[in-house]
Structure 1
Amino acid sequence: MPNPSRPRAAALAVSAALLSASLAACSSDAKDDVDLPSQALSWKDCPAPSASEGGGDAPSPLPGGAEWQCATMKAPLNWDDPEGDTIDLALIRARASGDEDQRIGSLIFNFGGPGGSGVTTLPAFGSDYAKLRTRYDLVSFDPRGVGRSAGVECEDDEQLDEYFEQDSTPDDAEEQKKLVDNITSFNKACDKNSGTVLPHVRTTDAARDMDLMRQVLGDDKLHYFGISYGTELGGVYAHLFPKNVGRAVFDGVVDPTQDPEQGSLGQAKGFQLALDNYAKDCTSKTEDCPIGDTPAEVKAKIAKLLKELDDKPIPGIFPRDLTQTAATNGIAQSLYSQDFWEYLTEGLQQAYDDDGKILMLLSDSMNGRNEDGRYSNIQAANVSINCADDKPRYTTEDVEAKLPEFREASPLFGDYLAWGMLGCTNWAVDGTADHPDVSASGSAPILVVGNTGDPATPYEGARKMVDALGDGVGVELTYKGQGHGAYDSDSTCVHSAVNDYLLDGTVPKEGTVCT
């Protein structure tokens, strides 16, 4: 079962490409510079993505012919012992397209997850950042535990097919026990296959990697674009290295004040809001909505479908069946972007006719499964990083006590997200804190972009991030739209504000609202 307690923007990014083809705590006294031997990166043509990164072909050149280049950076396995064992971190870049005397430096991207491969995601959407490439080298990476950066391995592909089909919303004690047993088996497999790296995949470790990356890339300041979980990573970096922050943008903002339970409850509300908006959109069009005449009927029919799937799955992608869990996961995936709403409509129409292919394809995209049946390690890394970060460990009794509140927040997603809090059951490594510390006194301004219709990182989190960063650091920009994040929308207002800040250092007026 996917761990839904953290958003996955990178999963969305990879999914967009797949669907297009298929359907048509450390303290803030950290040193500003790490004391490690210098290293020079050897940039070469990029290979095809590894299976753990999702597979596929080597990245195609950008419009205009610019080639993607890849390199490997060494970092300490254990940042408390920087002279000990090292791991390799995979990097990718596209050189700045403008004049060298106008080049600012490197702009480092993290697309979220945690668990998303930046090495595969950046080239998939690199053309969207053409304006930013006029003055920056575009750079991304596989964070530790992800893809080719000491990627965490848990269960194999066959086991994962079964794992993601399980009943993740148990109705009785027997089903609860089976769910806990399955999660425990998955987590023990992670420890067996990747026990060496599991204690060292915390967000604080990744933040220290980014500061080393800044130095190796030759930049005095870290210029950064964080999306979804990438905003949490950016906030932790700013906390640890406030004097090293350059121009930074946080988009699709994680609420840094919430513990995992509060984060899951917030997502229940966020996905319910997105479903409400989808149902209103479908039924307000001039033609008939094919899955209901009113928003209430659309949601009632979806709820009825999920209940029926709990009792009797329908054929999905042979030889697998579409279960209640897979359908719920697929519906959630489709709500990450308004561009996916048409796939949800088509998928629901099919499911009502006992054909679960599209909803299963959406679920597979969320889980990192490609058409060949191979899984990336996005979910293994997601669980590993969350469980290394998050101190709370929840029990079935905890979940049962909270179910009424989750169900009130979302009749459709409440159970799914509540039971997802069991993801760290019997994890081999203790978590660090209830929530990340992002206080960053002394940092340069950070542009924090919140989307009022965001399902995965609800809009309220943007203000919470601004407040937590501290006075004079966070600058809030609001986008009144749908989907996860704002820069990937069609809003020229958002694009202009972000581009003006990153390219020219122009900070928008606090409280600016875009549509």
Structure 2
Amino acid sequence: MTRFVRWSALGAAAALLMAGCSSGSSDEGGGDKGGGSTSPSGSGLPTSLTSQKPDWSECGATAGAPAPGDDWRCATLKVPLDWSKPGGQTIDLALIRSEATGGDRIGSLLFNFGGPGGSGVDTMPSYGSYVSALHERYDLVSWDPRGVGASEGVRCRTDAEIAAAEQVDATPDTPAEEEAFLKDAADFGAGCEESAGPLLAHVSTQDTARDMDLMRQVLGDTKTHYFGISYGTELGGVYAHLFPENVGRLILDAVVDPAGDTFAHAKNQALGFQRALDNYLESTGEDPAEGTRRITDLLTELDSRPLPASDDRELTQTLALTGIVLPLYSESGWPSLTSALAAAEEGDGSELLALADGYNERDPSGGYGTTTHSQRVISCLDDKQRPTLAETKRLLPEFEEISPVFGPFLGWDTAGWCHDWPVPGQVDTPEVSAPGAAPILVVGNTGDPATPVEGAQRMADELGQGVGVVLTWEGEGHGAYGSGSDCVDSAVNAYLLEGEVPEDGTVCQ
């Protein structure tokens, strides 16, 4: 089970619907050596980087998405492998773009859909219909961040190894299960190191934020206009801290709490998912406390007696919990949760397993996507903390008190996620203060399960007075824009298209 906070709204929606372009990248040891004179722009970067002219050409299909329509073009961007050595080895990032459809063009609007580990190249074309109003005046641009998809994407395990790991108990009850839990975590890290090599130490959020500013220069934009969702809000905050003078119009939607450490993030998510579960149960007419007990009983039973499911597979406790998580990302998924829980209580785990497969990117043939691989290598390089088993076990009662359903899983995850990781983490919490930056619109919604609404205010506080502007929607699901609120959509569009900043603290009902 992975950290739920790292999943974007669109990624979860796509997975619910289940239950582009490729480009070459340099070899690990054979990338462009860069060098040459430095840019006259004052960036201090070699002109071989800042003067790049992307070769926008027809996009092909990828492992994650079919070829997009003719309106989309793909290219590659060379960036330094190691930003402390900008004239050294480079890697290639995969980009996708659709030019503005109308007149009075503002510039490029960069999108990051979350994860970390989500492919912008795969996701951007399908998201285009949500932002057609923005497309009139912006070139829509996204990319696969370093370590993701076609940008030196990391694969840490084979499909068979992933399937085997799904059988590891994510809430171990015995010393033997604890040993297997930690061994699985260490094995995953070793596989990532073998796959990524030197790249493993250069896939941080700070690295990607620096890539973004080079992207701005190459695209010909004076300022960076940006739409970040979920983890993309953390990336946006880090970018604003590093380059406050280059901040244009930035939207941060479904906001990660930048002040939270490893334990705080896990507790935030336990709170958020329990809150979403309570709202779901109330919508069905069931008392949330009683419904929570019913689901907890089901999970407890599955811990020792997995349910039979389709294709001769079994629904384990961990897979059931994953299947419950997915439909909580969007209110439109609630009916599927009702059906899947009812089937499981009747002895058939197939529906919950199908939901878990959607979350885990498992296709009908047993192949798995690699979003969670990239997710883990990025977050474990970002996160400096490495909680021990003893530290986690001491805090488990607190997690269980917050949420009997999600607390145990998220608590144990703190010990296993980056256990015995091959490279050290960088920071306890990301630095997002951005004094002098233009106003940044920070959007949260009260029913968000993965990034609870409290994170939006904390992000605004960390960005600084006069920079972070909070807009709150009293709604459900992960992410507010495009989720059914005319109030939110109008405010975001006015900000991005006209530069109109709403009053701080505005609430959309």
Which structure 2 residues correspond to residues 224-373 of structure 1 after superposition, within 5 A?
A: 224-283=226-285, 293-373=286-366
CA displacement, residues 414-434 of structure 1 (integer Å, 9 cap, x when unaligned): 110011112100101100011
Which structure 2 residues correspond to residues 5-404 of structure 1 after superposition, within 5 A?
A: 6-19=6-19, 33=43, 35-36=45-46, 37=48, 38-50=51-63, 54=64, 56-59=65-68, 61=69, 67-99=71-103, 102-283=104-285, 293-404=286-397
C-alpha RMSD over aligned residues: 1.5
- Amino acid across the alignment from 2:76: T
> Which stretch shifts more, 340-349 or 202-211?
340-349
- Conserved 8 A contact 1:3-1:379: no
Note the C-alpha offset of 1:5: 5.7
Change (3 A) 1:32 1:299: farther
- Whether 2:456 is the aligned partner of 1:462: answer yes
Which structure 2 residues correspond to residues 388-467 of structure 1 after superposition, within 5 A?
A: 388-421=381-414, 422-467=416-461
Note the C-alpha offset of 1:245: 0.6
Match of 1:25 in 2: none
- Conserved 8 A contact 1:13-1:121: no
CA distance in 1, matches of 2:15, 2:74: 22
Change (3 A) 1:225 1:32: farther
- Whether 2:495 is the aligned partner of 1:498: answer no
Note the C-alpha offset of 1:372: 3.0
Change (3 A) 1:98 1:275: same
CA distance in 2, matches of 1:153, 1:275: 33
- Conserved 8 A contact 1:228-1:252: yes
- Amino acid across the alignment from 2:77: M
- Conserved 8 A contact 2:255-2:455: yes
- Conserved 8 A contact 1:92-1:139: yes
Note the C-alpha offset of 1:353: 2.3
Q: What percentage of residue pairs aligned between the two structures are identical?
A: 52
Change (3 A) 1:10 1:400: same
Note the C-alpha offset of 1:436: 0.1
Q: Which runs of 4+ in 1 moved over 4 A?
A: none
Note the C-alpha offset of 1:351: 1.3
Match of 2:37 in 1: none
Specify every segment of 5 or more residues in structure 2 that has no aligned partner in the other structure, as ranges. Answer: 20-40
Change (3 A) 1:386 1:313: same
- Conserved 8 A contact 1:5-1:417: no
- Whether 2:482 is the aligned partner of 1:488: answer yes
CA displacement, residues 286-319 of structure 1 (integer Å, 9 cap, x when unaligned): xxxxxxx533332222111111111111123424
Specify every segment of 5 or more residues in structure 1 that has no aligned partner in the other structure, as ranges. Answer: 20-30, 284-292
Provide the TM-score with structure 1 as the length reference. 0.91
Provide the TM-score with structure 2 as the length reference. 0.92
SS of residue matched to 1:249: strand
CA displacement, residues 316-353 of structure 1 (integer Å, 9 cap, x when unaligned): 34243111001101111111111111111111122122
Change (3 A) 1:236 1:467: same
CA distance in 2, matches of 1:364, 1:192: 26
SS of residue matched to 1:194: helix
- Conserved 8 A contact 2:8-2:229: no
- Whether 2:472 is the aligned partner of 1:478: answer yes
CA distance in 2, matches of 1:359, 1:376: 19
> Which stretch shifts more, 232-241 or 319-328?
319-328
CA distance in 2, matches of 1:397, 1:116: 32
CA displacement, residues 459-508 of structure 1 (integer Å, 9 cap, x when unaligned): 11111000100111011001001111100310000000000000000001
> Which stretch shifts more, 231-240 or 337-346?
337-346
CA distance in 2, matches of 1:223, 1:34: 22
CA distance in 2, matches of 1:398, 1:206: 31
CA distance in 2, matches of 1:344, 1:392: 34
CA distance in 2, matches of 1:319, 1:395: 37
- Conserved 8 A contact 2:16-2:327: no
> Which stretch shifts more, 189-198 or 432-441?
189-198
CA distance in 2, matches of 1:311, 1:299: 19
CA displacement, residues 20-77 of structure 1 (integer Å, 9 cap, x when unaligned): xxxxxxxxxxx97351321111111211113xxx3x4212x3xxxx622111111111
- Conserved 8 A contact 1:39-1:216: yes
- Conserved 8 A contact 2:73-2:96: yes
Matched length: 484
